[in-house]
Amino acid sequence: MTDPIPLPRPDVASMSLNAALARRRSVREFSSQALSAEQLGALCWAAQGVTHPWGLRTAPSAGALYPLELYVATAEGAFRYLPREHALWRLTGEDLRPGICRAALGQDSIRQSAATFLFCGVTERTASKYGQRAGRYVLLEAGHAAQNLLLEAVALGLGAVPIGAFYDRQLRLLLDLRSGEAPLYLVAVGFPARS
Ligand SMILES: Cc1cc2nc3c(=O)[nH]c(=O)nc-3n(C[C@H](O)[C@H](O)[C@H](O)COP(=O)(O)O)c2cc1C
């Protein structure tokens, strides 16, 4: 029997990756401050941004087939993120956060958030190559992308909470999702409320 081998302590002196990992905590109460365009852009990029001329992204994807679609709802409306363009496509000028909050069992973190992100999955993109394993792969990818977003929020001095409890049908209707797009995961982001 050997003793456990101690690992070095992570460096948390600056906002290194380890600092962001160490500080990440689910935050559910936010101030009313809106995000800047830079912050919104950085969050979208962290989740699904393109980082390679071939279109490869910040988050890994089985077969580089990219089955995820990213939406964001703010006070200004609801948008789809376009990774190649690094731009937002406006779906509506309506504030959908209250509706998303209702679809998510009234979780107030969404109503309070400056931005609520929604990851959707289009399983058939991945199924074209991976058949029945596609469902599993798409869920794994949503986890990768959401974690990127959560860590970016920490690095920007923001708070965030991942949310899996919601009625799929209500979200589909609210965002008028295209056929084959399944809502998978929400992340509410904002400036942490002062305690
Ligand atoms: C798949 C998944 C679903 C979650 N769904 C919710 C949710 O619906 N509402 C919520 O407030 N937190 C939700 N959380 C956050 C967890 O409650 C939280 O991660 C856990 O309490 C640990 O706390 P920490 O994130 O601060 O480390 C979810 C987390 C995961 C991974």
35 falls within a domain: yes
Does residue 140 lie within any of the structural domains? yes
Mean pLDDT over 10-31 rounds to 85
Query: Going by CA atoms, what residue is nearest to atom 31 of ligand 1?
Result: 162
CA distance 195 to 179: 42
Three-state DSSP class for residue 77:
strand
Ligand 1 centre to CA of 141 (Å) is: 17
Whether residue 133 is predicted with pLDDT greater than 70 in this model: the reply is yes
Q: How far is the CA of 54 from the centre of ligand 1 (A)?
A: 34
Any atom of ligand 1 within 6 Å of the Cβ of 31: no
pLDDT for the residue numbered 3: 81
Q: How many domains does the chain have?
A: 1
9 inside domain: no
CATH number (domain holding residue 81): 3.40.109.10
154 located within any domain: yes
pLDDT tens digits, 29-51: 999 999 999 999 999 999 999 99
Ligand 1 atom, smallest distance to 166 CA: 8
- The whole domain housing 159 covers 24-99+131-175
Whether the CB of 165 sits within 6 Å of ligand 1 = yes
At 7, is the pLDDT very low, low, confident or very high (cuts 50, 70, 90)?
low
13 pLDDT more than 60: no
The span from the CA of 94 to the CA of 92, in Å, is: 5
CA dihedral for 8, 13, 17, 20, sign (positive or negative)? positive
Read off the pLDDT of residues 181-192 as tens digits, 9 standing for 90 and up: 999 999 999 999
25 lines ligand 1 (CB under 6 A): yes
Inter-residue contact 75 to 95 (CB < 8 Å): yes
- Tell me what percent of the residues of the chain surpass a pLDDT of 70: 94
107: Cβ below 6 Å to ligand 1? yes
In this structure, which residue's CA is closest to atom 20 in ligand 1? 26
- 17 domain residue, yes or no: no
How high is the pLDDT of residue 5? 79
Distance of alpha carbon 51 from alpha carbon 12, whole angstroms: 26
Residue 108 Cα to ligand 1 middle (Å)? 14
> DSSP label at 30?
B
Identity of the residue numbered 117? F
Whether residue 73 lies inside any domain: the answer is yes
| 186 Cβ contact partners less than 8 Å away, ≥ 6 residues apart | 100, 104, 110, 116, 117, 118, 119, 162, 163, 164, 166
The pLDDT confidence band at residue 15, using thresholds 50, 70 and 90, is confident
| pLDDT, tens only, 61-119 | 999 999 999 999 999 999 999 999 999 999 999 999 999 999 999 999 999 999 999 99
Q: Strands, E, within the chain: which ranges?
A: 68-74, 77-82, 87-92, 115-121, 159-163, 182-190
C-alpha–C-alpha distance, residues 33 and 182, integer Å: 30
Q: What is the per-residue pLDDT for 6?
A: 79
Contact 115, 182 (CB under 8 A): no
Question: pLDDT grade, residue 151 (50/70/90)?
Answer: very high
Residue 180 DSSP one-character state:
T
Gap from CA of 26 to ligand 1 centroid (Å): 7
Per-residue pLDDT at 11: 54
Strand-pairing partners, residue 141, are none
Would you say residue 12 has pLDDT above 80? no
Residue nearest to atom 13 of ligand 1 (CA): 163
Tell me, yes or no, whether 169 lies in a domain: yes
The answer to whether residue 160 is domain-embedded is yes
